[in-house]
Every structure is written in structure tokens, then in C-alpha cells.
Structure 1
Amino acid sequence: MIRLQNLKKDYIVKGHKTPALRGIDLSIEKGEIFGIIGHSGAGKSTLIRCINLLERPTAGSVIVDGVDLTKLDEGKLQEQRRHIGMIFQHFNLLSSATVGENVAFPLKLAKRPKAEIDKKVKEMLALVGLEQHRDKYPAQLSGGQKQRVGIARALASDPKVLLCDEATSALDPQTTNSILALLLDINRKLGLTIVLITHEMHVIRSICDRVGVIDGGHIVEMGNVLDVFLKPQHPTTQEFVEQVADSSELRAAVAHEKASGERTILRVTFLGEQTYQPILFQTMQETGTVFSILQGTISRMKDTPYGQLVIELGGDAQQNRKAVDTLRQRGLEVEVI
């Protein structure tokens, strides 16, 4: 659906060239939710704005649904942009227009018939749960409701792609979760390809299928969210995983145990139905190994339940090795820390 090839973007700051994107290669499949995570200044906002050419790349190609946008004149580019919706961190609503008028705005620009506009506005407001707010103004809405209007407006033109530029950053955690649930529902109902940027790993973990980590204008790590989250390779990725993994507490616990003598400490990862099965208890019982839990969590990554336990084994060396081997034979991911 989306292919970025050797994408580069330079800015001129005080007469000097400042690279923002340094040769991005990226493919996003039709119907997936792809997340791009990075710190401020890493290039993520520039990257997403290059996808619809709100920022024109210095070099490289942006191919959306088979069309290279960088080769289009302004008229044809505007036509292609109707297939790419976008929502923003600060909503970008027309303050003097009602909710219904905001949703209708792109359709009026496209000179659609009034009856078609009215029908589409009603349909979009029902999709985002704002049917009763059609005649209100943005100032009368909460932050979450404003973002729902932004989503309805972005979807009014029946786009194939929805770009989300820090769409939940201005919202409280509860409202963020409701907006993420709405985006996931829209993705499933409409088969819409969604690209979102964020600096919050919670957002990526909640709804994304794949993720790219951007740092210094480069994609430094990319893959399925489960793989990237559970086995982060790059230091930047590891920082983001710590947002939701309590890694600082884990390091303190491990340091404490190591300081008290020679220890065997494991990180055991459970995926899918394994998460709810007593595999660890059964293994330790069968091998006669004493263990204690230093840290543990059970959560979900989009539709997949997962768990991670950090445990200390209290058996002798032979018992501990047998316990580790048995856990691995039973399909668990086991890392000796």
C-alpha cells in the first residue's frame, strides 16, 4: 500500500543544511496498523508528513497504492490526497463551524452534492459516536470528542490510508484508550491502512501490527510489535520499552539478588494461551526446583496476551539447568539474565 524508497528530507537552518530524514526505506501493507515511534526531533513528524507530501522530500520516492506522489503535478497530487486522510495532535478543527460542518468541509471542497454530503456526515458521526453533537461547536466538546470529529472529517472522503500525527498526545490516558479503541474498530470495519506516529510505547503496544523505531532520521529497528517489544535490540527501542515494562525496578531487583551471592535469574516470556497455563509451576514441581518471583506482568499486545516473569532459581546448578531446559522444551522463551 505504501512504499518509501531512500526517502531524504533536508531543512535549511541559518544557511546550513540540516538532515531530518537520512534515506528511509519502508513498506506498509494494505490494512495494517503501522506505528512509528521516536523521541522529539527524531524525524517522525517529518516522515509522516512526507507520506502525503505536506512536506516534499529532498530525494526519494513516496508510492501510495501504486502511485508515486513525488512525480505528480499539484492538481493530480491534490486528487491523490483525497485518498489519504490525516488527523492531528491539536485537532485542527474550524472553531467557527459546527461539528457537522467540520466533517462536511472536505466534501464541500470536493464539490460533492449536498444530499451526498448530508448522508456522509450522518454516517461518519454515527461511526465515531457523535450523532447527538452535530450542531455543537468545537469549544463545547471535550478533547476526546474533538479528536473524534477530526477522525470523522478525515474519513469523510473514503480514504484508503489514515495518517495519525501524535493523535493522542494531547489527551488523558482514559481518553487515549477510547480513541485507540476507535481507531482499531475503524481499521477492522473499513480495512483501512493506518500509519501513526507517537512517542508512547503504550500506543504502539495497544493497536499496532508492526512498528518502526526512528532515531536521528534513520529507522533503527523494525518488526512485529511483539518481537520488537519483547526483544528490543537498539538502545532507543529499549528506552521506549522501559516506559511500559518497569525495567528500572527490574534492574534494581536483579542487582539486589546478585549482590547477595551467585544466583540464577531468568526472564521467562509467555505468549498466547501459554500465558494462562501453569507451565512454570508444573516445571518447577517436576524438577524439584525452588524459585521466587522478582517481577511479573500479564498484559495484552493488541489481540495477543503475553506475560513476563523474572524469577530466581534456588536449586543446585544441575537442577537449575534442567528447569531451564524443560521450560524451553515446553515452548517458553527463557533468558538467563
Structure 2
Amino acid sequence: MSRMIQLENLHKGYQVDGHIVPALQGIDLSIEKGEIFGVIGHSGAGKSTLIRCINLLERPTSGRVVVDGTDLMNLDDRQLQEQRRQIGMIFQHFNLLSSATVAENVAFPLKLAKRPKAEIEQKVTELLTLVGLEAHRNKYPAQLSGGQKQRVGIARALASDPKVLLCDEATSALDPQTTNSILALLRDINRKLGLTIVLITHEMHVIRAVCDRVAVIDGGKIVEMGNVVDVFLKPQHPTTQEFVEQVADSVELKEIVSHEKADKDRTMIRITFLGSQTYQPVLFQTMLETGTPFNILQGTISRMKDTPYGQLIVELEADQEQVNKTIGSLRQRGLEVEVI
């Protein structure tokens, strides 16, 4: 893969009561062509500022913003406007023209670019079909649901055939079912068009559903970054651990751990399965071989984008030697095992 976006030593500060308040501090980030990259953080962490620096809606105080080989910080206004056509953006509250129809909203950037009328008509039809709204082309935004409005926003953002799509909290105003349908659409667009997608969110399930890699931002700094599978299953920073707990049964787990701690001949382990292992009877085979009695206290099977994974909390009723033997056998089979 080759690089689509490169942010180097990015700083952004705002003047407040005569003082500079830092919003971003030394951000270094590389995003590859064709990947879906997520940025997650709490409110005020700097994620909105970060995504708006990518197309210079917010101009960084210092640093470099390179998109597809061009440093946007070195461009004049006309050149920057030209480059921005290569960067589509969708917003939390849709930002649609209320007095324009669905088709007119999608056509708007094409009219600004003075494209021929026949070309605009063809492109609008093509995009409305892509987002599943062809039957609603003559409706107005007030007649649409939240999910339909966001689909219009996506179609409009794709009108100029951008190389990059920025999603600024694109699903946070939507209910869970609608969120899932929009995320499925973004995955579909990413695959069909090979589009590089950058999305920011405060919801870990959004990252888990669509992203290839993720950066966790806290206090204007990136505190953790990596493949979603690695970050999700082995969160290192306390902020990341908080977000992972959003989609994990952590409360129940804490209750189980505190309830079961008393017995010294019982050991609790967390076993993580990835990929094809998730659907194989590895645990059963191991326990059969080692003769270790066990109880499954908690378990889940899910997916992170295209990767199936599972986690089991298992109680082993055995002495330490037998426990070590069992854990060793599980690890030999390629499983992640952690003693809780």
C-alpha cells in the first residue's frame, strides 16, 4: 500500500483570553491508500480539530499536511480549493440545503465546478443508486429520516470523485440500527471505489465495525495507535481501555472476578481466538488432552470488520502445575491466554 495522508508534527492552538490553548500537540500520522482509518477520543480530546486539519478547514499552527503527495500548507487559496475537491466530507448534522431536493443537494458541488448538465444528471443518478436513494431524488431533506439524510450527505461528498472521505462523527446523531446501515454503506463504498476513509468517533463499536487501523487521541496527543484487532484486544493506555469497555462485558467480568477470587485452586483465564480459530473446538480438545476440569464463565464471538474473534473467560479447577500445563498447551495452539 502507498501513503495517502501524512501528518507530521502537527500543532494547533487557539487564542483564548490572550493565551494560546493547545488543541493538537505534535501529531504524527500516516494513513494508507484505500484503508478505513479511525480516530477515537472523548469530547474535547482534539479529534474534530484533527480531521478538519486534513483539509485545512482548520489551519494548523505548525507542521505538515500531505495529501496524495501534496503539502496543503504550501498552497495558495485557489490551489487549496482545487485540492479540496479531492477530499469529500460528511458531517454529524448532515449540512444539507433545506430548500433543495435530494438530487439538487448531490448536484451542488458539480454545479459549483461548472460541470455540463448532462454529466451532472448522470453522476447524480449514479450516486443516488449507490447510496440507495434513487426513489427519493425529488424529496426535500425535511421529508427524510436521519439515515436517509446522511446517505444524501455521502452521495454529495462523493460527487467530485474524491480520493479521501472524511467522516466527522457521521453516525453519532443516528440510532444504532441506522448507524449499522451507514457503516455498512461506508464499507461498501470503500471496497467498490477504493476510497481512503478517515472517520472520527467517540464510539468504539463504530471503530470495531469498519476500521482497519485506529488512533486514540487524548489531550491533543495520540496515546495509542495500531491495527484495530490489536488495539481492541490488547489496549495499553487507560483511555483506550475505557473505550474498549464500551463494547465489552467488563462490569459483569469485574463482578465474576471479585466473586470467584476466594478459592486458591481455581484460576481464571481469558482466552482470545482470532480468525478461523474462532469456530474450532480448540478449548475442548486442549482440556481433553490435559484432563483439566473447567467452567466457561463468560464468552463472546463477534467480528472486527472482516476478522472474526472470540473471547472466553474460563475457570480452571486445578493446581498451579496443571494450570501452567494447560495454559502452555493453549498457547502452543496459537491462542492468546491471560491469567486474570
Structure-1-length-normalised TM-score: 0.99
Shift of 1:262: 5.1
Name the counterpart of 1:258.
261
**SS of the residue aligned with 1:103?**
helix
Shift of 1:260: 4.3
Name the counterpart of 1:238.
241
Name the counterpart of 2:48.
45
Name the counterpart of 2:335.
332
Shift of 1:246: 1.3
Deviations 1:138-167 (A, max 9, x none): 000000000000000000000000000000
CA distance in 2, matches of 1:273, 1:221: 27
- The counterpart of 1:193, out of the listed 196, 208, 224, is 196
**SS of the residue aligned with 2:236?**
coil
Is 1:32 equivalent to 2:35 in the alignment? yes
Name the counterpart of 1:115.
118
CA distance in 1, matches of 2:281, 2:161: 47
Question: For residue 228 of structure 1, what is the amino acid of its counterpart?
Answer: V
Name the counterpart of 2:136.
133
Shift of 1:208: 0.2
Question: For residue 267 of structure 1, what is the amino acid of its counterpart?
Answer: R
Is 1:304 equivalent to 2:307 in the alignment? yes
CA distance in 2, matches of 1:332, 1:202: 24
2:300 touches 2:310 (CA, 8 Å); kept in 1?
yes
CA distance in 1, matches of 2:132, 2:83: 28
**Residue pairs, 1:68-217, within 5 angstroms:** 68-217=71-220
Shift of 1:330: 0.7
Deviations 1:48-68 (A, max 9, x none): 000000000000010000000
- Shift >2 Å, 4+ stretches: 259-263
In structure 2, list runs of 5 or more residues that go unmatched: none
Name the counterpart of 2:59.
56
CA distance in 2, matches of 1:260, 1:148: 55
Deviations 1:272-319 (A, max 9, x none): 111111110111111110111121110001011100001110022222
Question: For residue 64 of structure 1, what is the amino acid of its counterpart?
Answer: V
CA distance in 2, matches of 1:318, 1:6: 50
Question: For residue 173 of structure 1, what is the amino acid of its counterpart?
Answer: P
**SS of the residue aligned with 1:245?**
coil
Shift of 1:261: 4.2
**SS of the residue aligned with 2:190?**
helix
CA distance in 2, matches of 1:287, 1:261: 20
CA distance in 2, matches of 1:294, 1:165: 39
Question: For residue 334 of structure 1, what is the amino acid of its counterpart?
Answer: V
Deviations 1:55-110 (A, max 9, x none): 00000010000000011000100000000000000000000000000000000111
CA distance in 2, matches of 1:164, 1:262: 51
CA distance in 1, matches of 2:255, 2:204: 22
2:223 touches 2:237 (CA, 8 Å); kept in 1?
yes
Deviations 1:191-238 (A, max 9, x none): 000000000000000010000000000000000000000000000000
Name the counterpart of 2:324.
321
CA distance in 1, matches of 2:147, 2:258: 42
Name the counterpart of 1:9.
12
CA distance in 2, matches of 1:223, 1:14: 37
**SS of the residue aligned with 1:23?**
strand
Question: For residue 288 of structure 2, what is the amino acid of its counterpart?
Answer: Q
Deviations 1:234-285 (A, max 9, x none): 0000000000011121111111111344531111000011111111011111
**% of aligned pairs identical?**
82
Deviations 1:156-194 (A, max 9, x none): 000000000000000000000000000000000000000
CA distance in 2, matches of 1:318, 1:7: 52
Is 1:22 equivalent to 2:28 in the alignment? no
CA distance in 2, matches of 1:112, 1:148: 22
Name the counterpart of 2:279.
276
Most deviating of 228-237 and 255-264: 255-264
2:265 touches 2:317 (CA, 8 Å); kept in 1?
no
CA distance in 1, matches of 2:71, 2:42: 29
**SS of the residue aligned with 2:309?**
strand
Structure-2-length-normalised TM-score: 0.98
